[in-house]
Structure 1
Amino acid sequence: MEFALKAENIIKYFYEPVEFQALKGLSLEVKKGEFVSLIGKSGSGKSTLLYVLSTMDTDYEGNLEINGETLTGKKQNELARFRNEHIGFVFQFHYLLPEFSVLHNVMLPALKLGRYQRSEIEDRAYEKLKLLGIAEHAPKKASRLSGGQQQRVAIARALINEPAVIMGDEPTGNLDSANTQIVFDIFRELTSKYHQTIIAVTHDDEFARNSDRIIELKDGLII
């Protein structure tokens, strides 16, 4: 069995305003092609865990491995390169550049990675937009799209470098029920048809129930 991600005995403290242990020795494994929801009440540690898993937060104890590579202890510039190449991010807010075209927004992580010619990156970006049913919006400025369309552009951008894992932080948190369903259906198809691994923090019980597996946190522990 192939694992996309392994985390062993993750311990995380915050020291401001007082010392507080946010994660208390968590271990988890996520298989390739698995769609996992992280749930828990506010303050349970789920977002803190996602930031550790995504390599954005390196101030922790334990061991993190993604795509067979140990990331604990790597330098920030190495982690930034690894994130761009192997992790796609979908946040509650889409973080698109409003004055850039939809196509250019999707191309940005691949341009930064610099592995392919610009023309090939453009072709790949079109393919991702087509996959998400919004290719006809490619030349439009991102600011001209609806919230649901913008979130689909953000997913296309997350996919552009063929990441090992997509990490979502409340990816449907700003969407109405119809667009939440669209985003969920996209995630479902990405895992079932394309074997994309997805780990998403969510408050949406229905979203979580329909994913492959729920990991629930309480007081910094998996319950």
Structure 2
Amino acid sequence: MSSETALQAQHIVKYFTQPEKFQVLKDISFEVKKGEFLSLTGKSGSGKSTLLYVLSTMDTDYQGQLIINGEKLTGCTQNQLAAFRNEHIGFVFQFHYLLTDFSVLENVMLPALKLNKKSRQEIESKAYANLELLGLKDQALKMAGKLSGGQQQRVAIARALINDPSIIMGDEPTGNLDSKNTQVVFDIFKQLTREQGQTIIAVTHDEDFARNSDRVIDLSDGKIL
């Protein structure tokens, strides 16, 4: 695996056992380069979200190997994986999962406070910088529940960036947004890969979003087309 590779999936096979045994991922292998913006597409039931959960280390019940930043993660304990995720992977879901009774700033700071590698002051300053990058610095002290849907999704991106993750994984990150806000989020992702070398892997149904990313992996019936 070269130093330019962010993630490597090798022969990933995944079965669901309920209601009966069913193979959902069939021998999936690919690499993602550092700074690449990759879209995973496919119809409902194609296996793309299942694949993202395997890649994100949240689903460990699979065959094959997963390597991120040169580190083999297959076979690690849940505690090791949780620690790895918090440090190396940022998540942006379809729903923002913000704590609405906390301020925007507090929401962004949370994963870094949990990682506990920097002082509160450093974390706060990084959180402000992230909010500024996303055009939300003036909203920092507002309760997160008072923001619009598009703003909340941008806060979720600022939070995903707080620990300087090597990869951001998005599960339908624009799924709940109108076309204007979808474009805003897409432009932010593009800027992050271009200017900060951020690697992004996003599952999407949005054809424009996928087409404008660096590369598309299209799944059908658990296989790469």
Question: Under a length normalisation based on structure 1, what TM-score does the superposition of the two structures give?
Answer: 0.99
5+ residue gaps, structure 1, are none
Letter paired with 2:156: A
Q: Distance in 1 between matches of 2:158 and 2:216?
A: 24
In the other structure, the counterpart of 1:105 is 107
**Does residue 30 of structure 1 match 2:41?**
no
**Does residue 91 of structure 1 match 2:99?**
no
Task: Provide Cα deviations, 1:59-99, integer angstroms capped at 9, x if missing partner.
Answer: 00000011111100000000000000000000000000000
Letter paired with 2:46: S
Q: Distance in 1 between matches of 2:147 and 2:43?
A: 32
In the other structure, the counterpart of 1:52 is 54
**Does residue 141 of structure 1 match 2:143?**
yes
Q: Distance in 1 between matches of 2:212 and 2:13?
A: 29
In the other structure, the counterpart of 2:124 is 122
Letter paired with 1:52: V
Q: CA deviation at 1:103?
A: 0.2
Q: Describe the SS at the equivalent of 1:88.
A: strand
Task: Provide Cα deviations, 1:126-175, integer angstroms capped at 9, x if missing partner.
Answer: 00000001010000000000000000000000000000100000000000
Q: Describe the SS at the equivalent of 2:107.
A: helix
In the other structure, the counterpart of 1:131 is 133
Task: Provide Cα deviations, 1:168-194, integer angstroms capped at 9, x if missing partner.
Answer: 000000000000000000000000111
5+ residue gaps, structure 2, are none
Q: Distance in 1 between matches of 2:30 and 2:119?
A: 38
In the other structure, the counterpart of 1:202 is 204
Q: CA deviation at 1:210?
A: 0.2
> 4+ runs of 1 displaced by more than 6 Å?
none
Q: Describe the SS at the equivalent of 1:193.
A: helix
In the other structure, the counterpart of 2:191 is 189
Q: Describe the SS at the equivalent of 1:65.
A: strand
Task: Provide Cα deviations, 1:22-75, integer angstroms capped at 9, x if missing partner.
Answer: 001100100000000000000000000000000000000000011111100000
Q: Distance in 1 between matches of 2:163 and 2:169?
A: 14
Q: Distance in 2 between matches of 1:68 and 1:142?
A: 37
In the other structure, the counterpart of 1:178 is 180
Q: Distance in 1 between matches of 2:50 and 2:62?
A: 10
Question: Alignment RMSD, CA only?
Answer: 0.5
Q: Distance in 2 between matches of 1:125 and 1:178?
A: 25
In the other structure, the counterpart of 1:82 is 84
Question: Under a length normalisation based on structure 2, what TM-score does the superposition of the two structures give?
Answer: 0.99
Counterpart selection for 1:63 from 57, 62, 65: 65
Percent of pairs with identical residues:
72
Q: Distance in 1 between matches of 2:56 and 2:15?
A: 17
